Amino acid sequence: MNVLEQITIGEYVAKDFRTAAVFSKYGIDFCCKGNRTIEEASEKKNLDFVQIEKEITQLLETKSDGAIDFRSWPSDLLIDYIEKTHHRYVEEKSSVLLPFLDKLCKVHGERHPELFEINELFKGCARELAQHMKKEELILFPFIKKMENAIRTGKAIEAPHFGTVENPIEMMKDEHVTEGERFVKIATLTNNYTPPADACNTYKVTFAMLQEFEQDLHKHIHLENNILFPKAIEMQSKFII
């Protein structure tokens, strides 16, 4: 088997985030389902995995000066980045999108009844993500930081109340899948965020913001599922828990 075929999609994106654009082009989920190989994902969608691997290889062979190597960051720094960049983004954009979607339902709902379902889906997303992020910020992330500090200082740590770190991580990953699937429905209902011919400016802006929200969510989930969580599990192996 070709060595490339054994690398998972998540590992590709963790190595170079530019590859995410290739996977997105083919509709391949690199965040919630990043544990698959290109061949496995391609078979599911009847895609030419040889062509996709060729594009990935060509991209990796080109120099990138602007790519950030998040894998090289210590976990506590990565957590701070996730909270201040992605958690803050979710909070700020949700507060804007919710009233926009309500307005679209009132003004355009009669002609475009799909807006009501889009609105309900995003309300569920905003509500669940708010709870999800709090669990990370109050429970999982502090323990990962505690492990990072213990390794750095040579100190021992107490076993967490949740058992092993895999327990909250699996819960967070399951919730990531739920939100990823919710946005698949939103993308379908919006015709991949394409406003209808009679769309007003608010309509167009709302769809553009929803698309941006999904893109940010994909990167957010990728950083956790494919980089932070594996780091946490590896760190835990240094302790007897």
**Structure confidence by residue, pLDDT tens digits, 182-193:** 999 999 999 999
**Structure confidence by residue, pLDDT tens digits, 125-152:** 999 999 999 999 999 999 999 999 998 8
Instruction: Tell me the pTM.
Output: 0.81
Token output for 220: 């957010």
**Structure confidence by residue, pLDDT tens digits, 46-58:** 898 889 988 888 8
Q: How far apart are CA 209 and CA 195, in angstroms?
A: 12
Average pLDDT rounded to a whole number, residues 76-82:
96
Spell out the residues 6+ positions from residue 132 whose beta carbon is closer than 8 angstroms to its own: 172, 175, 179
Q: How far apart are CA 94 and CA 112, in angstroms?
A: 22
User: 9: how many CB neighbours lie within 10 A of its CB?
Assistant: 27
Amino acid symbol at 76: D
Amino acid symbol at 189: L
Please report the pLDDT score of residue 185 as a whole number.
97
Amino acid symbol at 42: S
Please report the pLDDT score of residue 1 as a whole number.
41
Distances (CA, A) of 239 to 102, 152, 162, 163, 170: 50, 13, 15, 13, 20
Q: Which residue has the higher pLDDT, 87 or 158?
A: 87
Query: For residue 206, which of 39, 68, 93, 87 has the smallest C-alpha distance?
Result: 93
Residue 241, pLDDT above cutoff 70: no
**Structure confidence by residue, pLDDT tens digits, 158-177:** 888 888 999 999 999 999 99
Q: How many CA atoms lie within 13 A of 211 on its CB side?
A: 14
Percent above pLDDT 90 for the chain: 62
Query: For residue 118, which of 220, 196, 206 has the smallest C-alpha distance?
Result: 206
Q: How far apart are CA 166 and CA 135, in angstroms?
A: 14
Query: For residue 206, which of 86, 124, 103, 85 has the smallest C-alpha distance?
Result: 103
